[in-house]
């Protein structure tokens, strides 16, 4: 039994793969914050704006992770690709819930003004704290369930 999970643990602990995942996450954070900031400027409430930003980021990050971070993982073909995309959205729901809850708590419960050129950027700092909290959940879930690292699939 232990021999069966060793490849998965080794794959999860890969510094290179985690570095790639974190780099892709940085791209996702830019997408998330761009959508969040834009929607806030148009009067959308913070939590729905955060969720829209997160879904945009999930799509972008899936596409990059599919071609780079986990390029050697997963079966080829349109069906397996669609399965990985749907699984990615499902498993990232945990990370999004963590990120959104942390964002909401930080954004609403700390009275901080973080301005630049007359624009309050506190939402960016609060969102980054939430993104970091959700990243660990996302890395483990994506590795194990979406791309099934260490299984040879």
Structural domain boundaries enclosing 52:
2-146
143 Cβ neighbours under 8 A, 6+ residues apart:
11, 12, 17, 21, 70, 149
Which residues in 56-86 are b (16+ Cβ under 10 Å) and which e? Answer: bbbebbbebbbeebbeebbeeeeeeeeebbe
Length of the chain: 153
How many domains, the chain? 1
User: Residue 123: which of 112, 104, 101, 107 has the closest Cα?
Assistant: 107
- pLDDT band of residue 3 (cuts 50, 70, 90) is low
pLDDT in tens, 82-132: 999 999 899 888 888 999 999 999 988 988 877 777 777 888 889 899 989
Please state, in angstroms and rounded to a whole number, the distance separating the CA atoms of residues 70 and 31: 20
Please state, in angstroms and rounded to a whole number, the distance separating the CA atoms of residues 77 and 106: 42
| Domain-embedded: residue 151 | no
| Domain-embedded: residue 152 | no
The pTM of this model reads 0.73
| Domain-embedded: residue 25 | yes
Contact 125, 113 (CB under 8 A): no
| Domain-embedded: residue 153 | no
Q: What is the mean pLDDT of the chain?
A: 86
């Amino acid at each position: 039994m232990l021999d069966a999970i060793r490849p998965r643990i080794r794959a999860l602990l890969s510094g290179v793969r985690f570095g790639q995942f974190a780099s892709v996450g940085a791209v996702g954070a830019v997408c998330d914050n761009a959508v969040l900031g834009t929607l806030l400027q148009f009067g959308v409430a913070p939590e729905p704006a955060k969720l829209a930003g997160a879904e945009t980021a999930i799509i972008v990050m899936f596409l990059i992770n599919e071609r780079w971070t986990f390029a050697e993982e997963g079966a080829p073909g349109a069906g397996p690709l669609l399965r990985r995309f749907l699984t990615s959205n499902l498993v990232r729901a945990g990370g999004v819930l963590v990120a959104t809850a942390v964002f909401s708590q930080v954004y609403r419960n700390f009275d901080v003004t973080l301005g630049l050129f007359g624009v309050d950027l506190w939402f960016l700092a609060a969102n980054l704290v939430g993104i970091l909290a959700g990243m660990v959940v996302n890395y483990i879930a994506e590795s194990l369930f979406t791309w099934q690292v260490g299984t040879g699939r």
